[in-house]
Amino acid sequence: MTTFEICNIVLNAIVAVLVVGYGVWLRNVFKHQIGAKDATIESKDAEISRLRTDTAPAIAAAYDAMRKHADQMTADVGLLNQKLDEQTKVLPLAVEIRVLAYVVDRMVELGGKNPDGGSYNNLLNEVLADLDKKISELPTA
């Protein structure tokens, strides 16, 4: 065997040892990478489970509180609308009472006599009767 052949065999053996060593090292690196990936997945799964158990009851409670608040607000708005309707019915009557009070004050100033010499009693009695009728028709609170 020549020196060239011996060098060729030694170099081939060195390359083979390096390839096998690199393969073992690469397998070890992959094993550690896969282990780290699995550990990360497990920790994320545990975190997701914890969040599901912690937040699901809180979300349900918040939804229930929001629904109760919305129901209460709906009831309050309905009550306010009813009161507004009642007040709207009373407002024209209040205006009539105010006008009537002004007329009565004016009549007292004039001594109950029409400037033309006539009496306001008939007109006043009609207005009072109409006002009594409207008051009796109002809803009681």
pLDDT tens digit string along 87-107?
777 777 777 777 777 777 766
The amino acid at residue 78 is G
Residue with tokens 């390839």: 19
pTM over 0.75: no
Q: Using one digit for the tens of pLDDT, what is the confidence trace for 5-47?
A: 899 999 999 999 999 999 999 999 999 999 999 999 999 888 8
> Do 100 and 131 contact (CB within 8 A), yes or no?
yes
Range of the domain at 55: 3-137
Q: How confident is the model at residue 121 (pLDDT cuts 50, 70, 90)?
A: low
Give me the pLDDT at residue 117, please. 57
Give CA torsion, residues 117, 120, 121, 127, to 10 deg.
170
At residue 80, does pLDDT exceed 70? yes
Share of the chain above pLDDT 70, in %: 81
Q: How far apart are CA 76 and CA 128, in angstroms?
A: 37
Give me the pLDDT at residue 118, please. 58
Q: How far apart are CA 88 and CA 82, in angstroms?
A: 10
Count of domains for the chain? 1
